[in-house]
Amino acid sequence: PRRILSGIQASGALHLGNYLGALKRFTQLQDTGAPCFLFVADLHAITVWQDPALLTAQTREIAAAYLASGLDPARSVIFPQSAVRAHSELAWIFNCVARLGWLDRMTQFKEKTGKHKERASVGLYTYPVLQAADILLYKATEVPTGEDQKQHLELTRDIAAKFNNDFNAPGFFPLPEPLTQGPAPRVMSLRDGAAKMSKSDPSDQSRINLTDDADTIVAKIRKARTDPDALPETLEGLEGRAEAKNLVTIYAALADMSREAVLAQFAGQGFGAFKPALADLAVASMAPVSAEMRRLMADPTEIDRVLKDGAARAAAIADPVVDEVKKIVGFWRG
């Protein structure tokens, strides 16, 4: 049976890349009828310093974003990762399955630490191992993520295969499929078409935050980097024009159109015409989501109820799996 799982880190403001690459995609998948498990990755968030006074609010904010994007807690299981202890337990066991050589190849760790590797937390290094535990604990079959997570998904498959093999438990963990196809699997920075839109980019102009008001969204799109040429008639005409391609992709994803259809509409027009249309569309699409997030955050009772109920439903699936893993590994069970 299909089972879809994904998470978002509780580490600060969400942006348009998270919305199009993850949140909007999750809602589309939920609407196919497959069971979805969506968690707030608070264990992952603390791989870099999080102020304890803010972490709870950040967790609620991600939950609010799930709900505001259209995820239905009656159909989808929405929960905080740390509330289901099995995640941490399985992660430790997987730390002993994964090989150092595998983790040494992870590009996200290298990108996030740069030249200061020795000052990074050990948790940041084993981050993808925890991710493998998150996924395999639910025996998820499909994992929707942005393209940046593809390498981590491959590591999850390697861990599953090695566990099944080392413990002579063929097929115990299914090998999950990454779902990186979507309307916008890699939204790029508004200032640099070669960098992904990211919450850790020091320039706030590089991204549209889910909490930005209409004027801010319009101003950021007006100032977005582009080129002086008009929009082409075909997708090939966007090759080598990373910034132009990004804005067309964003338009298509927000409007639920193909990029070809967007070009058919705007071919021959310059960014002086395209940018205001994109800004209108972005404001119209994002405003209801951010308004609903603000409503939910104003009184967290509803969010807390969803998270508590989700944690109980998630644990009911995860706990028996981790119990079985402990048996397979040979831990004393009395």
Residues of this chain that interact with ligand AQP (CB under 6 A) are: 8-9, 17-18, 21-22, 145-146, 148-149, 185-187, 196-200
Task: Compute the distance between CA of residue 11 and CA of residue 41 in angstroms, rounded to an integer.
Answer: 9
The active-site residue out of 139, 162, 199, 326 is: 199
Strand partners, 188: 196
Q: Which residue's CB is nearer to ligand AQP, number 278 or number 325?
A: 278
Q: Which residue's CB is nearer to ligand AQP, number 196 or number 259?
A: 196
User: Nearest distance from residue 324's CB to ligand AQP, in Å?
Assistant: 28
Nearest to 140, CA basis, from 35, 241, 212, 235: 35
User: Nearest distance from residue 264's CB to ligand AQP, in Å?
Assistant: 25
Q: Which residue's CB is nearer to ligand AQP, number 145 or number 156?
A: 145
Is there a catalytic annotation at residue 196? yes
User: Nearest distance from residue 163's CB to ligand AQP, in Å?
Assistant: 24
User: Nearest distance from residue 172's CB to ligand AQP, in Å?
Assistant: 26
User: Nearest distance from residue 319's CB to ligand AQP, in Å?
Assistant: 25
* β-strands 177-179, 76-80 pairing: unpaired
Task: Compute the distance between CA of residue 133 and CA of residue 89 in angstroms, rounded to an integer.
Answer: 9
Q: Which residue's CB is nearer to ligand AQP, number 8 or number 106?
A: 8
Q: Which residue's CB is nearer to ligand AQP, number 189 or number 226?
A: 189
CA angle 326, 329, 330 (to 5 degrees): 85
User: Nearest distance from residue 333's CB to ligand AQP, in Å?
Assistant: 35
Q: Which residue's CB is nearer to ligand AQP, number 32 or number 200?
A: 200
Q: Which residue lies nearest ligand AQP, judged by its C-beta?
A: 21
The active-site residue out of 112, 139, 162, 326 is: 112
Q: Provide the annotated active-site residues.
A: 112, 196, 199
